[in-house]
Structure 1
Amino acid sequence: MGDSTATASVGDNNSSERNTAEEVCRIVEQSKELQESAANLISRNSQEEASLRQRALGLDSDIKRLHSFIASSVKKGKLDPKDAEKVSYWRFLRAFLGPINVHATRKDVQLKVKEEYNNFRDRTAYLFLFFPSLLLLLRSWVWNGCLPALPVQLYQAWLLFLYTGLALRENILRVNGSDIRPWWIYHHYFAMLMALISLTWEIERQPDCSQKQKGIQLFLKWAIMQGIAMLLQNRYQRQRLYTRIALGKARRMDVVWGETAGVEGQIWLLYPILFVLQAFEAYVGLLLLKTAVVGVVSEWQVVACGILLITMAIGNFINTVQTLVSKSRAKVKAKLKKGLSSKDSPFQLHIPKQTPFDNINGCLKCTPRIGELKLLIIRQDA
């Protein structure tokens, strides 16, 4: 009896060992299969990654060839420079950000970019007015008519940051469908260059520093005028832009820069201020050139800043006049179209206008009120 029990126990142990060995072998086989599958997946991913990398390099090469072709076509007169400007902003973004995609696919992200740009303009407008005013006041009250070098250079460094930030944001807005005129971006390129040059401007002290620093004083006075104009533009143009979006005359990604929307009150208020600012900008540029010619301040920075100020003043004036002319033509066409449409048919279709609703982000939607929608066909009296 004892022998049979021992034999059964040995058989159970052997069976258990076989089952354990089989289970171990099965798990090992599964591990090998999983490892092979992972290796195959990694290999396929590597091949696909290499293929995608080659396609990306090929696309980058095609883009470079396209830019070269566009540049040569513009030089030969085969392509309109205005059409070439539509792809020129990529160069500036690539120079600062590298080959990254700044196009937002979601509409809410695009609108956030626009709102951040507007907020940046609002903040910097106050600073643009505050900093030069503070420097001129301290010059008269504290510094005995002489500007120290460090505060002026800090202000000029801030100007370089400001114009670079505006140019970057405006290029990104253009990528995302905004209608910013190319000149205002080029205007900020010129302003960036002027701020960079002014950083190398030598700030001379006594004796007779009031004459030696005359160019800097003129530049600060122009900056005060520019700050006032920026505040007025931000205030009046933003309100008009929201109205134009509600009426369907502008898109939600559109922004305002350097021009007004064209209502009568703004034409008589903002446009004269813009023309005065442009004239003062050219005047400051001429005074800078005069101080260099007379010999009061003979640095090359004075000449360069004077030329840049005159160039920006002329460009701003031309674009402002073009805006006035285009808006006047648009009004005439709208009146003619309205007059012709009223004479085409003895029947008129009267549909109530849609009601604009403004949400928290300032995004306007036009939604008809179904209950009030009435379709009336009225025969005109002969």
Structure 2
Amino acid sequence: MNGGETEQRLAEEAARLADLARELQESASAHISKTWTDEQALRHRAAALQSDIRALQSRINSSSSSSKNADLKDLEKAEDELCRARSAVTDGDLASLLPTKSHGAFLKMFLGPVNVRATRKEIQLKVKQEYNSYRDRTAFLFLLFPSILLFLRSWMWNGCFPALPVQLYQAWLLFLYTCLALRENILRVNGSDIRPWWIYHHYCAMLMALVSLTWEINGQPDCAHKQRGIQLFLAWAMMQGIAMLLQNRYQRQRLYTRIALGKAKRMDVVWGEASGVEGQLWALYPILFILQGFEAYVGMLLLRTAFVSVVSSLAGNLLWELAGLDGSG
């Protein structure tokens, strides 16, 4: 008797929980439907506001070219107000309601058709913060790895690089540039103002690292001559690491200033040499020009080495065929 009553209570409790689950499901569906309807209305209003801002900006630009000096103050005031409106639209929570940028073929190739747009601003800023931290870490490693290889070459390897450490470094470069390109594409989808050419140049760097993995790292005899290109490449990488550390510091300071003045969004990141102030850039100019010149020299040296190797190989094959013809005659 007691067992039957217990089972009946359990059945009644299960039925009560099932009814509660159905009630909560209906409430959740109604809430989601209402939220989606409100969100669509906000999306239309945000898109209309963004279109009005663009139209007014074009009118201000056309008026500024034909206005007199007396009217410039009113135009500057209108420009400031429009800048505040644009910042509220693109740099606040309203930005998540605007149409997202295309993910692009690169993200689709690695991640598939996955939406990487964060709906909450704090998550977007966390993505940007992690990107900046990654750049700082890799700039230090960019300087550390070739320094260790060059030091071990003279101290332990008797002036001759083994193949494995150099190829591991080149594989790390491929990983580095691939990660940077992925993170920058994700930042761009989330509203960051990264120029496309900055991402494309990382695509080229990925190709460079992939090609460098195919280098034939010859040893003795005459190791110093055969590995001259590798030695110069590592020296260039050290210079690049120093330039990256200086750029990250100077450009980060300039970006904070631009954000405080309302001329940049909080999601923007540093992406090139043009973000520093004039005095800071004067400190970077000598390093950047020397770096580019040295990079061109290393490229020409590697191109000449490859050309000489191809010509020598063709000449050897030709001599071998001529020797075979003489022998058969």
Q: Which residue of 2 aligns with 1:293?
A: 307
Correspondent of 2:128 among 101, 106, 114: 114
Structure with larger Rg = 1
Q: Which residue of 2 aligns with 1:100?
A: 114
Change (3 A) 1:120 1:137: same
Correspondent of 1:125 among 133, 139, 148: 139
Superposed CA offset, 1:178-215 (max 9, x none):
11111111111111111122222222111112112122
Q: Does 1:235 align with 2:262?
A: no
Change (3 A) 1:119 1:247: same
Change (3 A) 1:93 1:253: same
Correspondent of 1:205 among 219, 228, 231: 219
Correspondent of 2:182 among 149, 168, 178: 168
Q: Which residue of 1 aligns with 2:158?
A: 144
Q: 1:115, CA displacement in angstroms?
A: 0.6
Change (3 A) 1:87 1:210: farther
Q: 1:154, CA displacement in angstroms?
A: 1.1
Q: In structure 2, what is the Cα distance between the partners aligned to 1:247 and 1:144?
A: 56
Task: Give the structure with the larger strand fraction.
Answer: 1
Q: Does 1:191 align with 2:200?
A: no
Change (3 A) 1:120 1:297: farther
Correspondent of 1:153 among 167, 170, 180: 167
The answer to whether the Cα contact below 8 Å between 2:170 and 2:212 also exists between their aligned partners in 1 is yes
Q: 1:239, CA displacement in angstroms?
A: 0.9
Q: 1:122, CA displacement in angstroms?
A: 0.4
Which is worse superposed, 214-223 or 238-247? Answer: 214-223
Q: Does 1:270 align with 2:284?
A: yes
Q: 1:87, CA displacement in angstroms?
A: 5.8
Q: 1:140, CA displacement in angstroms?
A: 1.5
Q: 1:293, CA displacement in angstroms?
A: 2.2
Q: In structure 2, what is the Cα distance between the partners aligned to 1:245 and 1:298?
A: 58
Superposed CA offset, 1:155-190 (max 9, x none):
111111111111111000100111111111111111
Identical pairs, percent: 76
Superposed CA offset, 1:299-342 (max 9, x none):
9xxxxxxxxxxxxxxxxxxxxxxxxxxxxxxxxxxxxxxxxxxx
Q: In structure 1, what is the Cα distance between the partners aligned to 2:240 and 2:123?
A: 31
The answer to whether the Cα contact below 8 Å between 1:163 and 1:188 also exists between their aligned partners in 2 is yes
Gaps of 5+ in 1: 1-15, 46-85, 300-382
Change (3 A) 1:265 1:210: same
Task: Give the structure with the larger helix fraction.
Answer: 2
Change (3 A) 1:105 1:124: same
CA-atom RMSD, angstroms? 3.3
Q: 1:271, CA displacement in angstroms?
A: 3.0
Correspondent of 1:223 among 229, 232, 237: 237
Q: 1:88, CA displacement in angstroms?
A: 6.4
TM-score by length of 1: 0.55
Q: Which residue of 1 aligns with 2:42?
A: none
Q: 1:132, CA displacement in angstroms?
A: 0.7
The answer to whether the Cα contact below 8 Å between 2:259 and 2:265 also exists between their aligned partners in 1 is yes
Between the two structures, name the one with larger relative contact order (CA 8 Å, sep ≥ 6): 2
Aligned length: 233
Q: In structure 1, what is the Cα distance between the partners aligned to 2:171 and 2:312?
A: 22
Correspondent of 2:191 among 177, 180, 192: 177
Correspondent of 1:252 among 266, 270, 280: 266
Q: In structure 1, what is the Cα distance between the partners aligned to 2:267 and 2:140?
A: 24
Q: 1:267, CA displacement in angstroms?
A: 2.8
Gaps of 5+ in 2: 30-99, 314-329
Q: 1:279, CA displacement in angstroms?
A: 2.2
Q: In structure 1, what is the Cα distance between the partners aligned to 2:191 and 2:101?
A: 12
Secondary structure in 1 aligned to 2:275? coil
Q: Which residue of 2 aligns with 1:303?
A: none
Instruction: Supply the AA of the counterpart residue of 1:172.
Output: I
Q: 1:219, CA displacement in angstroms?
A: 1.6
Q: 1:144, CA displacement in angstroms?
A: 1.0
Superposed CA offset, 1:270-296 (max 9, x none):
233223222222221112112222339
TM-score by length of 2: 0.63
Q: 1:142, CA displacement in angstroms?
A: 1.5
Q: 1:240, CA displacement in angstroms?
A: 1.1
Q: 1:263, CA displacement in angstroms?
A: 2.1
Secondary structure in 2 aligned to 1:260? helix
Instruction: Supply the AA of the counterpart residue of 2:179.
Output: G
Q: In structure 2, what is the Cα distance between the partners aligned to 1:181 and 1:288?
A: 30
